[in-house]
Structure 1
Amino acid sequence: MQLHLKKYVLPLKHTFSISRESHDFQDTLIVSLTKDGKIGYGEATSNPYYQITVERMMAEIERIKNEIESFDFKTPQEFHQFLTEKELSNFAICALDLAAHDLYGKLLEKPLYEIWGTKPEPYPITNYTIGLAEIDTMVAKMRERPWPIYKIKLGTDNDVNIVKELRKHTNAVFRIDANCAWTAEETIYNAPQLKDLGVEFLEQPLKADDWEGMERVMHKSVLPIIADESCIVEADVEKCALHFNGINIKLTKCGGLTPALRMLKKARDLGLKTMVGCMTESTVGISAIAQLLPQLDYVDMDGALLLKQDIAEGIKIEEGGNVVFPDLPGSGITLK
């Protein structure tokens, strides 16, 4: 195989803020793997919360470039196993794993969802994320993109009032993501009010390691709770089953599609709701997520919609959330 790495700086349409950070650009790594004239593309974005930079990922991958290019590639699963033995971060493994899956599908001339024995319809509609900001700014973002489901980023002392104000401007379903900013008491207190305001579920209200608090929330919250920062890798799924109603898998955090597929199966076996989320990826990463749609209850794959300028073509998300799958096999990705 031939390996190629390239860093991109993706400009966002608007400043994106959550409870712990704000940014106007998203750094991302695009990996391409080439074999027999076919090119597979993968992606992983930088993330300050997990201390991941594009430069770090590139250095990790460059260190084993010769081994990657000489690897006898047959399946993404075998390739992923090889990568896990090389002490790479999960983010770097994700970029390579996504490229391997896209390449594999293109070599077989089939989309990934078909290889996995699923059909693309029906599928859950992605939410559209409204970052934390002044209320007028949040309302303006909703008006700019009318959508059936909004994920609202919160984490202030005035969160319920923010939702009350937003509710005046739309009948859309709300999902709330506090990104670890609440306590158990706040969550239990806020939940009934938010339920009355048309909120579907709460995503990761407590700090990732506050398992005692999450146990109290699980017994007393009137809204379902979805794990995000508490569910990073495969080993976390079983523990989350005792403290959450569902899990939100991020491909970058778990190490790509290979472990994500196992995590989804485990979650379903444990009776958990399944969700996959994005990390403001371009259409490269979003197209990989889209292959999992038939296996999901919820999805957050609006990353490319938040960009001022995209770098790839693949799946398209039309206004209102309808997904158009590309004619290309694999994840269906081409770089612009």
Structure 2
Amino acid sequence: MKLNIRKYILPLKHTFSISRESRDFQDSMIISLELDGKIGYGEATANPYYKVTFETMRSEIENIRLEIEQFNLKNPEAFHAFLVTKNLSNFAVCALDLAANDLYGKLLKKPLYQIWDTDNSTYPITNYTIGLGTIEKMVAKMQETPWPIYKIKLGTQNDVEIVRELRKHTDAIFRVDANCAWTADETIAYAPQLKELGVEFIEQPLKAEDWEGMKKVIQHSVLPTIADESCIVEADVEKCNTHFHGVNIKLTKCGGLTPARRMISNAKAMGLKVMVGCMTESTVGISAIAQLIPQLDFVDMDGAMLLKEDIADGVIISKNGKVIFPSLGGSGITLH
């Protein structure tokens, strides 16, 4: 296989703010793997919270470039198993795994959801994320993009008031994401008010390591909770089972589609709700996530919708949330 690594700096439509950071651009690494005239694409975005940069990912991959290019791609699972023996970060593994899956599907001339024998006639609608900001700016973002489900980023001293004000402007379903900013007592106190305001669930209210706090929350919160920062890799799913009602799986954090599919299966077997989320990827990463949606209860794959300029063609999300899957095999990605 021929390996190529490219850096993109993706401009965002609006400053994106959560409880711990703000940004106007998103650094992204795009991997391509070429074999027999077909090219597969994968993506992993940089993330300061996890101390991952484009440069660190590229360096890891360049160290094993020769082994990657000499690898005999029989299937993506075997390639992923090889990668995890090389001590790469999960972010770097993700980009390579996504590229291998896209390539594999293109070689077979089938989209991944068909290869996995899943029916894409029904699937959850993605939410659209409203980053933290002034009430006026958050309302303006909703009005700019009318949508049936919003995920609202919180983590301030007046979070319930923010949701109350936003509710005046839409009948959409709300989901709230505190990104680790609340305490257990705050979460339990906020939950009844948020439920009255049409909030469906709370994502990662407490710090990732506050398992005792989450045990208290799951016993007393009137709203379901979904793990994000507490659910990174496959082993985390079992721990989340007794502390959350569901898990939000991120491909970049767990290492790609291959482990994500196992996490989905394991979470379902435990009776957990399953969500897959994005990390502000372009259509490259979003098209990979979309292959999983027939298996999910919830999905957050609005990353490309938040960009000022996209870099690829693939899955299209229409204004009513309907997903248009390309006829091209794999994840259906072509780079601009």
**Same fold at TM > 0.5:** yes
- Structure 1 match to 2:100: 100
- Structure 2 match to 1:247: 247
What pairs up with 1:128-147 in 2 under 5 angstroms?
A: 128-147=128-147
- Structure 1 match to 2:84: 84
The separation in 2 between residues aligned to 1:309 and 1:321, in whole angstroms, is: 20
What pairs up with 1:1-336 in 2 under 5 angstroms?
A: 1-336=1-336
The separation in 2 between residues aligned to 1:229 and 1:64, in whole angstroms, is: 29
The separation in 1 between residues aligned to 2:277 and 2:8, in whole angstroms, is: 21
The separation in 1 between residues aligned to 2:323 and 2:181, in whole angstroms, is: 32
Question: Are the aligned partners of 1:154 and 1:176 in contact in 2 as well (CA < 8 Å)?
Answer: yes
Report the identity percentage: 73
Question: Are the aligned partners of 1:146 and 1:320 in contact in 2 as well (CA < 8 Å)?
Answer: no
CA RMSD of aligned residues (A): 0.4
The separation in 2 between residues aligned to 1:118 and 1:320, in whole angstroms, is: 22
The separation in 2 between residues aligned to 1:71 and 1:171, in whole angstroms, is: 52
The separation in 1 between residues aligned to 2:259 and 2:171, in whole angstroms, is: 36
The separation in 2 between residues aligned to 1:31 and 1:265, in whole angstroms, is: 27
The separation in 1 between residues aligned to 2:13 and 2:74, in whole angstroms, is: 40
Question: Are the aligned partners of 1:9 and 1:26 in contact in 2 as well (CA < 8 Å)?
Answer: yes
The separation in 2 between residues aligned to 1:65 and 1:140, in whole angstroms, is: 46
The separation in 2 between residues aligned to 1:331 and 1:219, in whole angstroms, is: 40
**One-letter identity of the residue aligned with 1:145:** T
Please give the secondary structure, in 1, of the residue aligned with 2:71: coil
The separation in 2 between residues aligned to 1:120 and 1:290, in whole angstroms, is: 10
1:73-129 superposed Cα distances (whole Å, 9 cap, x missing partner): 110000001000001000000000000000000011110000101011201000000
The separation in 2 between residues aligned to 1:121 and 1:140, in whole angstroms, is: 33
**One-letter identity of the residue aligned with 1:168:** K
Please give the secondary structure, in 1, of the residue aligned with 2:25: strand
Q: Tell me the CA shift for residue 173 of structure 1.
A: 0.2
1:130-179 superposed Cα distances (whole Å, 9 cap, x missing partner): 00000000000000000000000000010000000000000000000000
Q: Tell me the CA shift for residue 330 of structure 1.
A: 0.3
The separation in 1 between residues aligned to 2:321 and 2:205, in whole angstroms, is: 26
The separation in 1 between residues aligned to 2:294 and 2:145, in whole angstroms, is: 25
**One-letter identity of the residue aligned with 1:189:** A
The separation in 2 between residues aligned to 1:245 and 1:121, in whole angstroms, is: 26
Q: Tell me the CA shift for residue 276 of structure 1.
A: 0.1
Structure 1: tracts of 5 or more residues without a match? none
The separation in 2 between residues aligned to 1:303 and 1:131, in whole angstroms, is: 12
**One-letter identity of the residue aligned with 1:140:** A
The separation in 1 between residues aligned to 2:121 and 2:60, in whole angstroms, is: 38
The separation in 1 between residues aligned to 2:290 and 2:115, in whole angstroms, is: 14
Please give the secondary structure, in 1, of the residue aligned with 2:288: helix
Please give the secondary structure, in 1, of the residue aligned with 2:50: coil
- How many aligned positions are there? 336
Q: Tell me the CA shift for residue 31 of structure 1.
A: 0.1
State the TM-score, normalizing by the size of structure 2.
Answer: 1.00
State the TM-score, normalizing by the size of structure 1.
Answer: 1.00
The separation in 1 between residues aligned to 2:231 and 2:129, in whole angstroms, is: 20
The separation in 2 between residues aligned to 1:190 and 1:321, in whole angstroms, is: 29
Q: Tell me the CA shift for residue 320 of structure 1.
A: 2.1
Structure 1 ranges of 4+ moved more than 4 A: none
The separation in 1 between residues aligned to 2:297 and 2:330, in whole angstroms, is: 22
